[in-house]
Amino acid sequence: ASASGGGSGAESAAGGGRHRHRHQDPASASAAVTMGNIFGNLLKSLIGKKEMRILMVGLDAAGKTTILYKLKLGEIVTTIPTIGFNVETVEYKNISFTVWDVGGQDKIRPLWRHYFQNTQGLIFVVDSNDRERVNEAREELMRMLAEDELRDAVLLVFANKQDLPNAMNAAEITDKLGLHSLRHRNWYIQATCATSGDGLYEGLDWLANQLKNKK
């Protein structure tokens, strides 16, 4: 996933040294913290003390790590169960967010199943600007949804990178991913821009309410 600058204005500012704080945008920094606080409180109030796992997956460079940083729910821990398979995890209260890249290597797929247990929510992140790989994204999504342990998981799709001029809109992504064919799955698609945070809260608000109803 595309971790752009680690999510902090100071880290991504050009030049470093004396001038770097000038490059920070206090409004966006406080907005990001506020989003984390709001989403954290939302989860806490809706979910209570139930152990829960939320998977966030998608092709590489879809923007998953950027979203994880934007949520500011806690420290992101990266583990490498095997070569070519990085897993990022954030533990928030009794909820774990687990993130990895899908696509490509068949030999690591069996390892994914270790993370499917107790998964109530699946977030699938799509690069809306990448028309060449949207079919691959669809194939990966359908393969995951076919997993028995994910049969009851609700699906939130983030149609990410909406800030790019040639990005497909949410309706086009819905069509390309074949979401309307999911007859027995609760799903929702949200247009997002991970770098600014646009759309993230709206999607996560839907997800939290779905998880509340699954209690």
| Band of residue 17 on the pLDDT scale cut at 50, 70, 90 | very low
Has 64 been labeled as part of a binding site?
A: yes
Has 161 been labeled as part of a binding site?
A: yes
Look at 88 and 191; give whichever has higher pLDDT: 191
Look at 184 and 106; give whichever has higher pLDDT: 184
Has 107 been labeled as part of a binding site?
A: no
Has 82 been labeled as part of a binding site?
A: yes
Let me know if residue 4 belongs to a domain: no
Distance CA(185)–CA(208), nearest Å, equals: 16
Phi, psi of 117 (to 5 degrees): -60, 135
Top-ranked range on mean pLDDT: pick from 3-12, 41-50, 104-113, 121-130: 121-130
What is the CATH number for 188? 3.40.50.300
Q: Does 105 participate in catalysis according to the annotation?
A: yes
Mean of pLDDT values over 154-164: 97
- The reported pLDDT for the residue numbered 67 is 87
Let me know if residue 106 belongs to a domain: yes
Q: Is the pLDDT of residue 3 over 70?
A: no
| Band of residue 49 on the pLDDT scale cut at 50, 70, 90 | low
> What is the residue-averaged pLDDT of the chain?
78
Let me know if residue 3 belongs to a domain: no
Mean of pLDDT values over 167-180: 97
Let me know if residue 57 belongs to a domain: yes
- The reported pLDDT for the residue numbered 111 is 77
Cα angle: 125, vertex 137, 187; to 5 degrees: 55
Has 162 been labeled as part of a binding site?
A: yes
Q: In sequence order, which ranges of 26-99 are alpha helices (DSSP H)? A: 26-47, 64-71
DSSP 198: B
Phi, psi of 85 (to 5 degrees): -140, 95
Q: Is the pLDDT of residue 19 over 70?
A: no
Q: Which of 38-47, 116-125, 128-137, 194-203 has the lowest mean pLDDT?
A: 38-47
User: CB 68: neighbour CB atoms within 10 A?
Assistant: 22
Show the beta-strand stretches assigned E in 59-215: 77-82, 85-92, 95-101, 119-127, 154-160, 187-191
Has 104 been labeled as part of a binding site?
A: yes
Q: How many CA atoms lie within 13 A of 193 on its CB side?
A: 8
Let me know if residue 55 belongs to a domain: yes
Confidence (pTM): 0.77
CA–CA distance from 109 to each of 8, 83, 133, 145, 153 (Å)?
33, 13, 19, 13, 18
Q: Is the pLDDT of residue 129 over 70?
A: yes
| Band of residue 68 on the pLDDT scale cut at 50, 70, 90 | confident
Let me know if residue 31 belongs to a domain: yes
Give the chain's domain count.
Answer: 1
Let me know if residue 1 belongs to a domain: no
- The reported pLDDT for the residue numbered 4 is 24
> Which of these is catalytic: 105, 117, 190, 210?
105
Going by C-beta distance under 8 Å and a sequence separation of 6 or more, which residues neighbour residue 107? Answer: none
- The reported pLDDT for the residue numbered 2 is 27
- The reported pLDDT for the residue numbered 22 is 35
Domain span including residue 176: 11-213
Both structure tokens of 101? 């890249």
Let me know if residue 131 belongs to a domain: yes
- The reported pLDDT for the residue numbered 152 is 92
Has 24 been labeled as part of a binding site?
A: no
